[in-house]
Each structure stands twice: as structure tokens, then as C-alpha cells.
């Protein structure tokens, strides 16, 4: 689990319940009080699960509501941290199509090859005219968070979209299969996507 996820969770707890609550959550999860999560480092999945369980005891027992709170905190953080990605994305579909790229940017900085592969292998995406299908597989089973983040994107871009999860690890499936269907957006043309790809490549080139 990339450290950015834990960092934003702890920031959310401090925002909602104060700095003492952050210490309580760390103690309950068995995390050292002086631990500072670095956004580009990989941490234990079990540690994340313990942190989230402890956070729910502070923020409320309804995990779906906690995920919505987290998605809002993550979205607000992303607007600042990943402002370029928002500038490059005209709508929520374009952003969610780039989500895997953003996710894997962090993996590129992970030194251990096995840890890096574990991060990269969590997501796979298929694109269709009116939807994208995200395949997600992780012991953290955070499909609820993915859906909450997608809904935050819909609201941010004022898009009309629905989510249908046809497979879910919580129901015993080997992966989560999440269909995001837009009512007001269709897939960009091959020409548009090629132009966008070239623009992204130029942005990533060293000055």
C-alpha cells in the first residue's frame, strides 16, 4: 500500500477529530506514534487494514460513509497535489482513464521489484464507447473506495454517470470488476487520444 493512502487517512482523522484521535488510531493499529508515512513508499497491507478499522471507530461504524469522507479528502488533496492531471482531463472519464497511470507513477519509485509489481498489478482497465471497466485485485479489497472516488470525480466535473460492480472480492470473486457508465460522455476519438498521449509524453520529458 502506497503511503499517500495512509497519510490522507490520518489527515482526515485529524481534520474530523483532532490530533489526539490520530494518536489513538495509531496506537489501536499498532503503528508507532512517530511514524510519518512517506507518499512514495510501500507499507504493509495489514497495517493499512488495521489503520482503517481503527479509523472507523473514530469516524463512525458505517464504512461506506467513511469511504465517502475519505474520497472527499483525497479529492481535495489531489486537486493540489495532481493539479496537472486535472488540467489535462476535460471530464471525469478522462481522469479515471489516467488513474492507473497516476497510480503507477508511485510504483516507479519503489525500489523492491516485488513490491513494485504488487502495486502495478492491482489495476487493469478496458475502455468502451460509453464506459470504462476497471479490474481491481488487492488483499485490501478497496473497491468501495474506488467507487467513492469515482463519484467524487462525477461531482467535481458535473458529469452524469453510474457505477455497476459486476464482480466483487467481498462477494468471493477473484477480482472486482467495476463498470463506470457515462450518460453524457462517449469515448474520445483515436485522433484525440493520440494527441493527448503525445502531449502527456512531452510533459514527462526532462527539461
Q: Is residue 152 over pLDDT 70?
A: yes
Q: What is the pLDDT of residue 207?
A: 41
> Could you give the angle at which helices 45-59 and 19-29 cross, rounded to 10 degrees?
130
Please answer whether residues 26 and 68 qualify as being in contact, where contact means their C-beta atoms are separated by less than 8 angstroms: no
Query: Look-up: residue for cell 458529469?
Result: 159
Residues pairing with 179 in the sheet:
133, 164
Q: What is the DSSP string of 21-71?
A: HHHHHHHHHT--TT----TTSB--HHHHHHHHHHHHHHH-S-HHHHHHHHH
Per residue in 35-91, pLDDT tens? 999 987 888 889 999 999 999 999 998 999 999 999 999 999 999 988 999 999 999
pLDDT at 105 over 50: yes
State mean pLDDT over 87-99: 93
pLDDT in tens, 2-27: 899 999 999 999 999 999 999 999 99
Contact present, 29 and 47 (Cβ < 8 Å): yes
Distance (Å) of CA 150 to CA 75, 127, 147, 156, 182: 10, 15, 5, 10, 11
Confidence of residue 191 (pLDDT cuts 50, 70, 90): very low
Cα–Cα distance list, 130 to 32, 90, 117, 170 (Å): 46, 16, 30, 26
The residue among 110 and 204 whose pLDDT is bigger is: 110
Contact 40, 106 (CB under 8 A): yes
Output the average pLDDT for the chain. Answer: 86
- Supply the pLDDT for residue 141: 92
Q: Are 122 and 137 in contact (CB under 8 A)?
A: yes
Amino acid at each position: 500500500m502506497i503511503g499517500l493512502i495512509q497519510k490522507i487517512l490520518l489527515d482526515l482523522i485529524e481534520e474530523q477529530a483532532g490530533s489526539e484521535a490520530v494518536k489513538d488510531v495509531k496506537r489501536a493499529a499498532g503503528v508507532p506514534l512517530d511514524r510519518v508515512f512517506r507518499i512514495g513508499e510501500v507499507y504493509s497491507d495489514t497495517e493499512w487494514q488495521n489503520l482503517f478499522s481503527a479509523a472507523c471507530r473514530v469516524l463512525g461504524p458505517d464504512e461506506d460513509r467513511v469511504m465517502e469522507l475519505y474520497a472527499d479528502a483525497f479529492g481535495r488533496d489531489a486537486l493540489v497535489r495532481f493539479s496537472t492531471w486535472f488540467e489535462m482531463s476535460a471530464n471525469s472519464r478522462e481522469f479515471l482513464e489516467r488513474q492507473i497511470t497516476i497510480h503507477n507513477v508511485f510504483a516507479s519509485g519503489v525500489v523492491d521489484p516485488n513490491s513494485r509489481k504488487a502495486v502495478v498489478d492491482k489495476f487493469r482497465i478496458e475502455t468502451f464507447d460509453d464506459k470504462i471497466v476497471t479490474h481491481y485485485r488487492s488483499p485490501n479489497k478497496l473497491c468501495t473506495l474506488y467507487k467513492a472516488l469515482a463519484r467524487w470525480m462525477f461531482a467535481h466535473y458535473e458529469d452524469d454517470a453510474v457505477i455497476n460492480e459486476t464482480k466483487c472480492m467481498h462477494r468471493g470473486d477473484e477480482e472486482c470488476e467495476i463498470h463506470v457508465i457515462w450518460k453524457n460522455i462517449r469515448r474520445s476519438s483515436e485522433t484525440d487520444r493520440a494527441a493527448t498521449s503525445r502531449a502527456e509524453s512531452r510533459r514527462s520529458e526532462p527539461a
